[in-house]
């Protein structure tokens, strides 16, 4: 039985039939996409329909005539869906509910006694939705000039604390853009790492869906895994951008979904056909309460507990419907790029013209712990750094981002966030000031490396109040180059601002800040509690004055604060469910924010890495020392096995020349298309008419007048190579 109350503009309670009649009287029309759906708004691009009894929607693309349905593009067959999935398909909103006995259920509008109070607005509709046990929310759906907006205000999410029931998660239109079986020529896009696709024409080997939290798991909520020593295992990639999508038919129709608000608490969940249901679907899942393992004894016994206070945040999704040539992952990237440009996040910081920039990170010193004390291990002196940079500059690499790392007596991983010092073993502060000013006059940017988010053992400079604690009061300590503790976002932002002021006296152009905002976590330390949303605000609050800031692997909430992105992800997590890895993130940033690959001297196949950089539009990056890295044995940088400049000098020059040849003509340009021409060959088209062909294969490739040698690239400028 359904219990639904309808209102029209907050005045009348209406049956669906009377509702449709009044819509006609008020000029909304009587067009039905399908039986029971009523037209409520339209613009030049689309028509919006909705079903008053469930708030399900259908959106008609006027250009193609395609009808996007929140119930999937194909109706299910008998037995395809159980009651839970059927409810989620039929309804605008579903919620995961934790019951008094600790078990969970998914409730939907169509399979619970839900009260709706709905009114039509100028561009759509809105509804107060009340589920059983006093849980509810307000849903607003409206057409925008370039798509559809779906939102839930934070203050509208309610629950009664005395019932034993709690709202865990909210799902909004989970089947919108879903396709059935393996018959569609399309794919799902997942923003894992650089980007990944799930081909909907292939049967998957995976038995589990993809699910990951935007901006990484909240280690403050008990997802933290401590390590006591370095691991050779590669960490899986995280989600850097809050956007996903479904291409219903390649080159015909698709939809991009942007998490406009609430990304900090959003999981992106993707199912391939055969995993739970016959549908290929990708959906947002918004976290209200999370469960965690609460320790109940000193022996380590624990129990599942519920987050005591719900996450309080606005939810907003922006849907952009794609047609024709836009209906590809490149079109999805362009839609998101346009959104960021309109919001003022991407503002054209990538230079146009000139030569390709190169990042050169120089390790000056590291510390080695002895039996009773630690010593400073010099790896590159000021004079040696001058030789390195001068030789490369004179050889033609004149657009360099030089990053000085480990300039204090405690080296790269031992420097306290409060210290600003230079060790005499590599050069005095005066020596380095002269070095920085000399190259600034030549147009070479020199930055200082800094990390205010990780407190390595022995570095000091912070108190227990600045250490992050998980909800179970566990300190977030782990091992990377050395053992460290995560520090609070408010502390990191404060120290960054202070460090920037000190750096100005040296004449540096900017700071290269590691780990800052890359890992987004809540802090349950009672001396400085911070939610994920407050953490974002803290990271964004740092004032660097006139200094620029390069960030290592930045997430989208700091794109506008970054002047360059270092160590950008070059692949996905390669899960079984993925069928392809794509440079979605690079396409979004290209032409607006300069981005650099990971260091070239750490790749097993340098030639393939160069080709990937050409393909992905990434600028080169090297991490060097003057001394042989054997000197770093028994230091936190003992992983640095191949860094000596004298060994890599010729490779730096030759490979820079190649990457400059490939990318100098597209600096400041946007990618307009990327097409796979064969298993090993791709073509990347740019906004200035340039096309670049990349052949990853071990055999030459030809097509008409275009020929690309094995493991090589070809640049076409205006039709002539």
pLDDT, block means (10 residues), the chain with 721 residues: 34 36 36 76 94 97 91 94 97 97 96 97 97 97 92 96 93 97 92 98 94 94 62 76 96 96 98 97 97 76 86 97 95 98 96 95 93 89 98 97 93 77 92 96 95 84 88 83 87 94 90 91 92 97 94 97 97 96 98 97 90 98 97 91 96 97 97 97 97 97 95 83 43
559: three-class secondary structure by DSSP: helix
- With beta carbons less than 8 A apart as the criterion, state whether 586 and 617 touch: yes
- With beta carbons less than 8 A apart as the criterion, state whether 681 and 657 touch: no
The predicted pLDDT at position 230 comes to: 53
CA–CA distances in Å: residue 592 to residues 273, 555, 588, 669: 37, 15, 8, 8
- Taking the C-alpha atoms of residue 249 and residue 4, their distance in angstroms, rounded to an integer, is 37
- Taking the C-alpha atoms of residue 245 and residue 492, their distance in angstroms, rounded to an integer, is 34
Number of alpha helices (DSSP H) and beta strands (DSSP E) in the chain: 11, 41
- With beta carbons less than 8 A apart as the criterion, state whether 524 and 473 touch: yes
Q: How many CB atoms lie within 10 A of CB 449?
A: 21
Sign of CA dihedral 631, 637, 640, 643: negative
The predicted pLDDT at position 229 comes to: 52
417: three-class secondary structure by DSSP: coil
- Taking the C-alpha atoms of residue 497 and residue 515, their distance in angstroms, rounded to an integer, is 16
Sheet holding 671-676, edge to edge: 671-676, 681-686, 691-695, 712-716
- Taking the C-alpha atoms of residue 277 and residue 271, their distance in angstroms, rounded to an integer, is 8
Kindly state the helix (H) or strand (E) to which residue 125 belongs, with its residue range. Answer: strand 124-130
- Burial 16-31, CB ≥16 within 10 A → b, else e: eeebbeebeeeebbee
Sign of CA dihedral 32, 33, 38, 40: negative
- With beta carbons less than 8 A apart as the criterion, state whether 172 and 315 touch: yes
- With beta carbons less than 8 A apart as the criterion, state whether 676 and 250 touch: no
- Taking the C-alpha atoms of residue 302 and residue 621, their distance in angstroms, rounded to an integer, is 46
- With beta carbons less than 8 A apart as the criterion, state whether 444 and 355 touch: no
- Taking the C-alpha atoms of residue 495 and residue 620, their distance in angstroms, rounded to an integer, is 30
- With beta carbons less than 8 A apart as the criterion, state whether 56 and 75 touch: no
The predicted pLDDT at position 91 comes to: 98
Q: How many CB atoms lie within 10 A of CB 271?
A: 26
What phi and psi values does residue 135 have, to the nearest 5 degrees? -90, 140
Contact partners, residue 497, CB within 8 Å, separation at least 6: 542, 543, 544
Partner residues linked to 630 by β-bridges: none
- DSSP letter string, 592-645: TS-BB-S-GGG-S-HHHHHHHHHHHTPBPEEEEBSS-GGGGTTSTTTT--S-BH
- Burial 590-624, CB ≥16 within 10 A → b, else e: bbbbbbbbbbbbbeeeeeebbbbbbbbbbbbbbbb
The token duo for 668 is 């400041």
- Taking the C-alpha atoms of residue 82 and residue 85, their distance in angstroms, rounded to an integer, is 5
- With beta carbons less than 8 A apart as the criterion, state whether 313 and 533 touch: yes
The token duo for 284 is 């947002």
Assign 3-class secondary structure to 41-96.
EECCCEEEEECCCCCCEEEEECCCCCEEECCCCCCCCCCCCCHHHHHHHHCCEEEE
Contact partners, residue 20, CB within 8 Å, separation at least 6: 30, 38
Kindly state the helix (H) or strand (E) to which residue 646 belongs, with its residue range. Answer: helix 645-663
Nearest-5° Cα angle at 466, 462 to 468:
130
Q: % helix / strand / coil in the chain, to the nearest 5? A: 20, 30, 45
- Taking the C-alpha atoms of residue 359 and residue 349, their distance in angstroms, rounded to an integer, is 16
Kindly state the helix (H) or strand (E) to which residue 374 belongs, with its residue range. Answer: strand 374-378
Q: What is the dihedral of CA 230, 236, 241, 247, to 10 degrees?
A: 170
The token duo for 86 is 């059927």
Sign of CA dihedral 216, 220, 223, 226: positive
What phi and psi values does residue 447 have, to the nearest 5 degrees? -120, 155
Residue in the structure block whose two tokens are 């203050």: 155
- With beta carbons less than 8 A apart as the criterion, state whether 70 and 176 touch: yes
- Taking the C-alpha atoms of residue 678 and residue 703, their distance in angstroms, rounded to an integer, is 10
- With beta carbons less than 8 A apart as the criterion, state whether 50 and 34 touch: no
The predicted pLDDT at position 718 comes to: 66
- Taking the C-alpha atoms of residue 491 and residue 515, their distance in angstroms, rounded to an integer, is 13
254: three-class secondary structure by DSSP: strand
Contact partners, residue 312, CB within 8 Å, separation at least 6: 154, 157
- DSSP letter string, 256-269: EEEEEE-GGGEEEE
Instruction: Give per-residue pLDDT as tens, 88-107.
Output: 999 999 999 999 999 999 99
């Amino acid at each position: 039985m359904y219990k639904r109350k309808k209102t029209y503009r907050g005045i009348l309670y209406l049956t669906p039939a009377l509702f449709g009649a009044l819509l006609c009287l008020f000029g909304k029309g009587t067009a039905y996409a399908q039986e029971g759906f009523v037209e409520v708004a339209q613009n030049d691009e689309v028509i919006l329909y909705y079903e008053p009894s469930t708030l399900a929607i259908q959106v008609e693309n006027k250009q193609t005539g395609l009808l996007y349905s929140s119930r999937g593009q194909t109706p299910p067959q008998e037995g395809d869906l159980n009651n839970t999935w059927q409810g989620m398909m039929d309804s605008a909103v579903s919620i995961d509910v934790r019951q008094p006995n600790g078990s969970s259920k998914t409730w939907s509008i169509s399979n619970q006694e839900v009260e709706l109070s709905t009114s039509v607005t100028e561009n759509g509709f809105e509804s107060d939705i009340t589920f059983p046990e006093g849980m509810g929310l307000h849903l607003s759906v409206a057409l925008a000039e370039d798509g559809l907006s779906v939102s839930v205000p934070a203050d509208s999410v309610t629950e009664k604390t005395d019932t034993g029931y709690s709202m865990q998660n909210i799902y909004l239109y989970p089947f919108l853009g879903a396709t059935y079986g393996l018959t569609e020529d399309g794919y799902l896009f997942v923003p894992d790492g650089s980007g990944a696709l799930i081909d909907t024409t292939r049967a998957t080997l995976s038995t589990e869906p993809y699910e990951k939290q935007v901006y990484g798991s909240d280690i403050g909520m008990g997802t933290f895994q401590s390590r006591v020593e370095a691991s050779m295992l590669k960490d899986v990639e995280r989600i850097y951008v809050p956007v996903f999508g479904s291409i219903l038919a390649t080159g015909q129709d698709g939809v991009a979904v942007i998490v406009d608000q609430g990304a900090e608490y959003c999981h992106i969940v993707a199912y391939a056909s055969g995993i739970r249901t016959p549908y290929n679907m990708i959906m947002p899942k918004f976290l209200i309460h999370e469960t965690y393992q609460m320790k109940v004894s000193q022996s380590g016994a624990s129990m599942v507990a519920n987050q005591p206070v719900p996450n309080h945040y606005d939810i907003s999704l922006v849907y952009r419907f794609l047609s024709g040539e836009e209906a590809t992952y490149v079109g999805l990237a362009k839609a998101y790029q346009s959104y960021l440009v309109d919001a003022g996040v991407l503002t054209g910081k990538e230079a146009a013209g000139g030569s390709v920039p190169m990042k050169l990170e120089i390790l000056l010193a590291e510390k080695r712990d002895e039996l009773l004390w630690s010593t400073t291990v010099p790896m590159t002196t000021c004079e040696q750094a001058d030789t390195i940079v001068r030789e490369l500059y004179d050889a033609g690499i004149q657009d360099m981002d030089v990053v000085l790392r480990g300039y204090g007596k405690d080296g790269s991983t031992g420097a306290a966030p409060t210290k600003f010092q230079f060790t005499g073993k590599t050069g005095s502060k005066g020596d380095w000031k002269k070095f920085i000013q000399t190259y600034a006059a030549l147009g070479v940017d020199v930055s200082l490396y800094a990390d205010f988010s990780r407190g390595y053992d022995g570095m000091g400079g912070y108190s227990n109040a600045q250490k992050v604690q998980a909800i179970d009061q566990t300190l977030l300590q782990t091992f990377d180059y050395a053992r460290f503790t995560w520090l609070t976002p408010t502390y990191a932002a404060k120290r960054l601002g202070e460090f920037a002021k000190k750096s100005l006296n040296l004449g540096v152009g900017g700071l290269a800040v590691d780990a800052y905002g890359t890992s987004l976590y809540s802090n349950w330390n009672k001396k400085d509690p911070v939610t994920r949303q407050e953490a974002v605000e803290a990271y964004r609050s740092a004032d660097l004055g006139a200094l620029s800031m390069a960030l290592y692997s930045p997430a989208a909430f700091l794109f506008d604060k970054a002047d360059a992105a270092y160590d950008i992800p070059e692949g996905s997590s390669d899960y079984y469910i993925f069928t392809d890895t794509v440079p979605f993130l690079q396409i979004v940033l290209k032409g607006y924010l300069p981005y650099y690959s990971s260091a070239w001297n750490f790749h097993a196949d340098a030639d393939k890495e160069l080709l990937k950089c050409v393909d992905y539009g990434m600028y080169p990056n090297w991490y060097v020392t003057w001394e042989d890295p054997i000197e770093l044995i028994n230091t936190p940088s003992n992983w640095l096995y191949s860094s000596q400049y004298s060994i890599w000098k010729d490779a730096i020059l030759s490979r820079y020349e190649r990457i400059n040849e490939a990318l100098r003509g597209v600096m400041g340009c946007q990618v307009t298309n990327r097409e796979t021409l064969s298993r090993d060959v791709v073509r990347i088209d740019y906004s200035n008419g340039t096309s670049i062909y990349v052949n990853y294969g071990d055999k030459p490739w030809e097509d008409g007048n275009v020929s690309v040698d094995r493991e090589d690239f070809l640049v076409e400028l205006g039709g002539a190579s």
